[in-house]
Structure 1
Amino acid sequence: MIAEKISELELMEVWYEDDPTMRIKVTFPFFLGNGTKSTAVVYFEIKPGCRLGTHTDSAEEIILVLEGTAEVSLGDERGRLSAGEMALVPAMVPHGLGNAGDETVRVVGFFSSNVVVSTFDRPMMPFGQRVVGTPPVLEEDQVASGNTGA
């Protein structure tokens, strides 16, 4: 069994250089790299006043809000999800989430593939690129491994 405790996950902070509202903490506790066969899971937190930038994912995702209230965009749709609510995000449909309240929003996303490629509307820092995957790879890691393709 592969198991993780949410309170003990090591989160990475990601942001847009030119937009201080796009800032989240994120990790992929389950994906191909740690043994999953056909699924991946992302966990992320959004502080009040912040948001997750608009992006597409290569795989279908179900998002579940654990805490807080999120303002969600999905294609041309807008809505809110609160703790205990979930929504389906089809593959390759642009979407984003913002914190719509005064407490940190905590979300789990369940993907239908063990590898996920996400393409953002702007370069994600600290990666410096719009396209990131599971797990996110820093540019210096790509150079060290000899894989510098985007």
Structure 2
Amino acid sequence: MLAANINDLDLTQCGFDGKPEFRVDANWFIHSGTGAQGSTIVYFEVPTGHTCPGHNHTVEENIFIVEGTAEVTIGDETKTFGKGGLVVIPALERQVIKNVGTDTLKVLGFFPSTTVISGFDEVLHGPPTPSRVVVVPEPGDVMTTYPNV
């Protein structure tokens, strides 16, 4: 059985250099490298007053708001979601998730693929190598980055 408790995960702080308002603390804890055969799951937190850096993914993402209040922008559409909210984000659509609440925003993201390629607006600092493109994961890897892209 492949299982985890989001309360026990170690999170990696990520953001854009010189822009402290952009921050996300994340752990891609279910994927092909951990034994998943058809999906990837990421858990992330966005501190109060911060914004998850703008990005897109090569596959559709379904996000579930575990706690907090999120302002979600997909393309040019923006809506606010609270605890229990569920949002489907189409593949390759740019997304920005801002914590507009008073508590830490806690989110689960579900992907229908064991590999997810993410493209960020700027170089993302926090993964093993700063990069605009992050691949999660190659089998056996935690995360692969491409710094020259």
- Normalising by structure 2, what TM-score? 0.90
Superposed, 1:1-150 pairs within 5 Å as 1-126=1-126, 127-135=129-137, 136-137=143-144
SS of the aligned residue for 2:144 comes to coil
Any stretches of 5+ residues in structure 2 without a counterpart? Answer: 138-142
What is the CA–CA distance in structure 1 between the aligned matches of 2:98 and 2:29, rounded to whole Å? 22
- Report the count of equivalent residues: 142
CA RMSD of aligned residues (A): 1.5
SS of the aligned residue for 1:33 comes to helix
1:112 is displaced (CA, Å) by 1.0
What is the CA–CA distance in structure 1 between the aligned matches of 2:5 and 2:41, rounded to whole Å? 13
1:53 is displaced (CA, Å) by 1.2
Any stretches of 5+ residues in structure 1 without a counterpart? Answer: 140-147
- Normalising by structure 1, what TM-score? 0.90
SS of the aligned residue for 2:101 comes to coil
What is the CA–CA distance in structure 2 between the aligned matches of 1:61 and 1:17, rounded to whole Å? 26
Cα deviation, 1:15-54, whole Å, max 9, x if unaligned, reads 1102111111100110011111111001000000111111
SS of the aligned residue for 2:41 comes to strand
SS of the aligned residue for 1:2 comes to coil
SS of the aligned residue for 1:73 comes to strand
SS of the aligned residue for 1:52 comes to strand
What is the CA–CA distance in structure 2 between the aligned matches of 1:80 and 1:149, rounded to whole Å? 35
Query: Is contact 2:133-2:145 (8 Å) kept?
Result: no
User: Quick one: which amino acid aligns to residue 137 of structure 1?
Assistant: T
Q: What percent identity do the matched residue pairs reach?
A: 32
1:149 is displaced (CA, Å) by 7.2
SS of the aligned residue for 1:65 comes to strand
Query: Is contact 2:131-2:145 (8 Å) kept?
Result: no
> Which structure features the higher share of helix residues?
1
In the TM superposition, structure 1's runs of 4+ consecutive aligned residues that sit over 6 Å from their partners are none
